[in-house]
Amino acid sequence: MKCECHPLPDGSVTSPGGFLAGAVSCGIKSGSEGAPDLGILFSPYPCIATGLFTQNKVKAAPVILCQDRLASGRAQAIVVNSGCANACTGGQGMIDAAQMAGLAADVLKIVPEDVLVASTGVIGVPMAMECISKGLAMMRLSNGGGHDLACAIMTTDTFAKATAVRLDLNGETITIGGIAKGAGMIHPNMATLLSFITTDAVMDADFARAALRRAADQSFNMVSVDGDTSTNDTLIMLANGAAGNALLRPGSARAKAFVKALTEVCVFLAKCIARDGEGATKLMEVHVEGAASTRDARIAARTIATSPLVKAALHGGDPNWGRILAAAGRSGAAVDPLRADLYMDGFCLMQGGRPVPFDEEAAATILRLPEVVFRLCLNLGDKSATAWGCDLSKEYVTINADYTT
Amino acid sequence: MKCECHPLPDGSVTSPGGFLAGAVSCGIKSGSEGAPDLGILFSPYPCIATGLFTQNKVKAAPVILCQDRLASGRAQAIVVNSGCANACTGGQGMIDAAQMAGLAADVLKIVPEDVLVASTGVIGVPMAMECISKGLAMMRLSNGGGHDLACAIMTTDTFAKATAVRLDLNGETITIGGIAKGAGMIHPNMATLLSFITTDAVMDADFARAALRRAADQSFNMVSVDGDTSTNDTLIMLANGAAGNALLRPGSARAKAFVKALTEVCVFLAKCIARDGEGATKLMEVHVEGAASTRDARIAARTIATSPLVKAALHGGDPNWGRILAAAGRSGAAVDPLRADLYMDGFCLMQGGRPVPFDEEAAATILRLPEVVFRLCLNLGDKSATAWGCDLSKEYVTINADYTT
């Protein structure tokens, strides 16, 4: 089979055929006058739709609404706001989320049941429904609106996160696009804060669900900014079938190529989230190899990427590798410190659990780079996993010490 | 039964009868010339001894040595150093820990098997054995040396942590003393970083083990500074029987009074550790009530006290209570947000999962106090637990961004 996958310049959720998006500033995000804070993603054709959501027992109202509506396996639009999470807002929150969907459905002239809702921002504040209503009336959608939408979902993000890839499968062309927002309260468990994926591929609901789960497990579920799982984590994929390809069948080479491309999109966005973690100055990539099980590899990699001490050492450019081994040791994974080897980029820092003398000057140079890769070889099996995180800076404290006020 | 328990002014591990301690500066702690970094705790009488240790799979050499020696249920001395953790030091680390015990045994004229070892400091650096040897030769012990020992185990601690209580049980007098060090990498799991407890009470090894476990579960295991469990967590209790009381029998009123007093000592030290967390400016006490199980209450309280977002909000004096509920929601405990109430000191912030309007000025005043108490009522059962933590400041980042260099 001939299969090629290319990134698209300036790709986003409107790169796949038939998707429209738009965004406006409607006044929900206080203190950021003029910043877009309300958006819509829309397909004029009905879509196969699937989602993954926070495992936090305290779920925001829009999360509960989406989980309920996605039981049908279909949807046609997502209305999303930043500035207010609509979480911990009681019964009124549920009413407001449903009303957001209803108002968007009126504008789009579709049934409310085909509209999904997502929110991000401060917890415990009621949704400003008059802003939503006013904003939706001003909304204009276009097939180049994906980047505006990526901007509208930002909170403490410093850059918009968007990408798309084009897949050539034996002459059929499929496009996958995605946007995301992250920054803080990032430690997803089966999903991420907010991310929307679009594709024009033809697929059924079961395939969509399995493909998204698989891609999320290698990407959004392996990224952490601060270990705090949000109440609003939402990852939704809409597939409108506009590419007209033959149905993707589980296990086929074409299906595998699609999942690989989807995973690429999700990994790109997940790495953006880590790189743009609140106050972050560096991206940390943690490979754990030689683990006794995939679960062990995953929890060890995630625990290292989440450890405040590893993150602070990375920030200071301090090759304090003992903290990396200590984090693996507390992760719950099987670890035999006398068999473990640790590498930072090319450098061996530890072998068989013992310090290896290294060139401190060269190590410090690597630690000043914007991306640092740690590789921990447990030498207990053949399973591996990769996680992403960021450094812990004073700026993280500044941002979070004074977020609502 | 008549039972009174009084704190002793200037109490420490040498308050109970028959315990001696001392400390010297021997040059292990680089960059802190003259600061004590080596100490001994000693009882001329044999002691019933028990300990609780880190659950991290990467255990420092002295932890492995103590776990092995405490199988006998007896010990007579602890030799302890700060500045070097003797962790991730391979086979040489085990040889060095055993040699530390041997050198101390020579000085004390007892068998090496009765000497326990504890170390705290940088991971992955070999122990400077010539400093240990030189330091032990200079060591002088006294029955007022407990505070010197508390100073010698400090690393990034800003104050020495020591206490003692006197218990009058129907005319018998029993004393319990303790010291501890904490500051960073504090998230104990069945023990704490370093803490030594002494008592002159007469007890057997089974009683000692059960009493220490019970006290630790209410104290050291409910405190967190940064969520990072150390490789060196060590809590040891020595009971030398010098009080000559009748044997403490499990289940008796006297035994319960002893465990209660022991728990008081441990809670005092655990709170000191939280209050003196790296960069901390405030102590946070988290009560979780109305939980469906004790496990739920404990994990919810611990997760709230560990959340970087809750800690950063506390630092900024920001009553961002949604983060407290979000942390409880991700803890694994059963939480129904629509039934939960949240209080800060006297203030109700949330009732039935909904925001309650509160006086922001008064709330801000409370948040400026050095101790803040959050009370989360889950209203799902009758179990409760208390955890302690601290705020997250820029100073934490500064300390940990540049610890080894």
From first to last of the 405 residues of chain A, give the pLDDT tens digit: 778 889 998 999 999 999 999 999 999 987 667 889 999 999 999 999 999 998 888 889 999 999 999 999 999 999 999 989 998 888 899 999 999 999 999 999 999 999 999 999 888 889 999 999 999 999 999 999 999 999 999 988 889 999 999 999 888 999 999 999 987 666 654 445 899 999 999 999 999 999 999 999 999 888 877 667 778 889 999 999 999 999 999 999 999 999 999 999 999 999 998 888 888 889 999 999 999 999 999 999 999 998 888 888 888 887 678 889 889 998 899 999 889 999 998 789 888 877 788 787 888 888 888 899 999 999 999 999 999 999 888 887 777 776 554
> Of residues A192, A198, A199, A386, which has the active-site annotation?
A192
C-alpha–C-alpha distance, residues B396 and B186, integer Å: 13
The band of B280, judged by pLDDT with boundaries at 50, 70 and 90, is confident
How far apart are the CA of B335 and the nearest CA of chain A, in angstroms? Answer: 6
Query: Which residues are CB-neighbours of A361 under 8 A, at least 6 positions away?
Result: none
Q: Which residues of B touch A186 (CB under 8 A)?
A: none
Secondary structure (H, E, C), A224-267: CCCCCCCCCCEEEEEECCCCCCCCCCCCCHHHHHHHHHHHHHHH
**Within the 49-78 window of chain A, which residues sit less than 8 Å (CB to CB) from chain B?**
55-59
> Average pLDDT, stretch B45-52?
94
CB A168 within 8 A of CB A2: yes
- B347: confidence class by pLDDT, cuts 50, 70, 90: confident
- Alpha-carbon distance A189 to A233, whole Å? 8
Using an 8 Å CB-CB cutoff, list chain A residues near B367. none
User: What pTM was estimated for this model as a whole?
Assistant: 0.82
Asked if B228 and B203 touch (Cβ cutoff 8 Å), the reply is no
pLDDT at residue B54 is higher than 80? yes
Using a CB-CB distance cutoff of 8 angstroms, which residues of chain A are in contact with residue B393?
Answer: 397
Ordered by where they begin, the domains of chain B are 3-275 (3.60.70.12), 283-401 (3.10.20.340)
Q: State whether A229 and B184 contact (CB < 8 Å).
A: no
Residue B312 is predicted with a pLDDT of 86
Out of A304-318, B92-106, B149-163, least confident range: A304-318
What span, in angstroms and rounded, lies between the C-alpha atoms of A263 and A243? Answer: 19
**Residue of A88, A184, A309 with shortest CB distance to B228:** A309
H or E stretch at A396: helix A394-401
- Which CA distances in Å does B317 have to A305, A405, B302, B328? 28, 9, 20, 20
* Partner residue facing A397 (CB), from B228, B312, B355: B312
Half-sphere exposure for A198 (CA within 13 Å, toward CB): 35
Q: Which two tokens stand for residue B193?
A: 């970083």
Model ipTM value: 0.75
User: What stretch of H or E contains B265?
Assistant: helix B253-275
Write the residue in A123, A337, A402 that is nearest to B58 by C-beta: A337
Instruction: Indicate yes or no: CB of B355 within 8 angstroms of CB of A227.
Output: no
Judged by DSSP in three states, A317 sits in coil
Between chain A and chain B, the number of residue pairs with CB atoms below 8 A apart is 229
Phi (first) and psi of residue A278, to 5 degrees: -55, 120
- 8 Å CB contact of A189 and B330: yes
Return the sign of the alpha-carbon dihedral for residues A107, A109, A113, A115: negative
